[in-house]
Amino acid sequence: MGFMKEIERKFLVDKGKLPELPEGAKMVQGYLSFTPTVRVRTEEGPGEQRKAYITIKGEGMVGRDEFEYNIPFEEAAKILKLAHASLVSKTRYRLPLKDHPGLKWELDIFEGDNSGLIVVELEMPDENFDYPKPEWLGKEVTEDPAYKNATLSQHPYKNW
């Protein structure tokens, strides 16, 4: 947690080719600001795992500065009531990359106003990382701002 340089790629998913998914984590996130992006997220994982974060993201699509800090879950739930636009709800599935310890695909199946949308992200060690391309990987949407979660809170998938 704290400061990091976020380098990621984002893709649509061919849901018909997905492997069996592990247990996912329920996430709800809301935005307190869009410039810069200030997000609060709660996460309820397998068992009784509950976490919450506040994240500040700089400008950029592939690589950008990110500051992330743990906050108490109960406080995050109250802060989410202050969010601008609608909350984004999704279940996240973490799929490890073979031959790359510590790296994982983060596959999000959206709910609510964004139901029907499935995207997957890969945080990479650098912009030139030669990542594997599983058969379920669809069109790359890294540089399409419509697929950013902050945008989905303002312009939900159901309205496309």
CA distance 12 to 132: 15
Strands 2-13 and 63-70: antiparallel
Predicted structure pTM score:
0.91
CA gap 97, 131 in Å, rounded: 9
Q: What pLDDT does 48 receive?
A: 76
pLDDT value of position 149: 94
Q: How confident is the model over 50-88, as pLDDT tens digits?
A: 999 999 988 875 667 889 999 999 999 999 999 999 999
CA distances from 73 to 40, 44, 77, 133 (A): 10, 10, 6, 35
pLDDT for 61 equals 58
- Catalytic residue list: 31
Does residue 31 surpass a pLDDT of 80? yes
For 93-122, the pLDDT digits (tens) are 999 998 888 899 999 999 999 999 999 999
Q: Please give the share of the chain, as a percent, with pLDDT higher than 90.
A: 74
The reported pLDDT for the residue numbered 64 is: 75
Domains of the chain (ranges; CATH) run 2-159 (2.40.320.10)
pLDDT at position 98 is: 85
pLDDT score, position 79: 97
